[in-house]
Copies of this chain bind each other. A is one copy, B any other.
Amino acid sequence: MTIKFENNIHSFKENLSEYLPGNSIDCIIFGYQNQELHILLLQWKFTENWALPGGFIDKEEDMDAAAKRILFDRTNLTDIFLKQFHTFGNKKRGNDKNKFKPNLERNLLEQIFGESEAIINWLSNRFISTGYFALVDLEKTNPKPDLLSEKCEWKPLKEIPTLIMDHNEIITKALEQLRIQLNHLPIGKALLPTKFTMQDLQKLYEAILQKPLERSNFQRKILKLDILNRHEKKMEGGSHKAPYLYSFDKIKYTELIKYGIGFL
């Protein structure tokens, strides 16, 4: 079951039997730009199909480590906020040897892996896939396609195309989890510059929640969390109405991530 390809993209091993069979990982990598959430997507070779970045778990590798590796391979980033959020195990996910036949994916696999039935059989199995979401500073990423894909690009949330398999559902679930997290954990450190205005923070929350928030109410509730340090005003032409700059207090932020924001 040896795959012949240039071994420069180490998300795929030369020998698929080194991976756990029937288990995969899908990564929803969120970035933030122009007051909009973005997601990193791959376009598969020889097709119009877009997909989430993903991969398999080495038999000698922790699942979390596999997710970190996949993320690194696509973004060149380490030390990022990465969180397992849900495992997808519907039977419609596979166990169907015909799922690549006659459509384009099979064609693609054959072009990449050759006419190997063994590989196509391996890939055609039903996979239980664990989803991880990551929050990254989009500016720092250097997106790289993987072996199966032609392009690796940031897409704004409202321009996500129809993806392969259940990948759109996986994004919906990731967004739902991100919104729950937002109400339970401070989120923003990974997505904003070190110093930001209260309005920057509110815009990020609005982009995630996909709804407008009332300004003074938002400010009151965020300040009550006691995780921000206030700095100098942001000078823009010297107006005395210039907004203050804030940064997250690292210790308090970390403490709050540990215990969460509860209603009790």
Contacts and interface: CB of A to CB of B under 8 A. Distances in A.
A61 B93 CA distance: 11
Contact of A263 (B62, B64, B87, B261): B261
A262 to B, nearest CB: 4
B205 A264 contact: yes
A64 B86 CA distance: 12
Contacts of A87: 63, 84, 87, 130
A189 to B, nearest CB: 17
A206 B98 CA distance: 53
Interface string A32-66: 00000000000000000000000001011111101
Interface in A69-126: 84, 86-91, 95, 126
Contacts of A62: 89-91
B86 A128 contact: no
Copies per complex? 2
A225 B23 CA distance: 41
Nearest to A213: B264
A203 interface: no
A21 B128 CA distance: 10
A132 to B, nearest CB: 10
Contact of A183 (B20, B84, B260): B260
Task: Give the interface centre of A90, A221, A260, A263 by most chain B CB atoms within 10 Å.
Answer: A263
Contacts of A180: 184, 260
Given A184-B180, A218-B264, A264-B183, A64 B89 contact: yes
Given A20-B22, A60-B91, A264 B221 contact: yes
A78 B120 CA distance: 39
A157 interface: no
Nearest to A61: B91
A209 interface: yes
Contacts of A91: 59-62
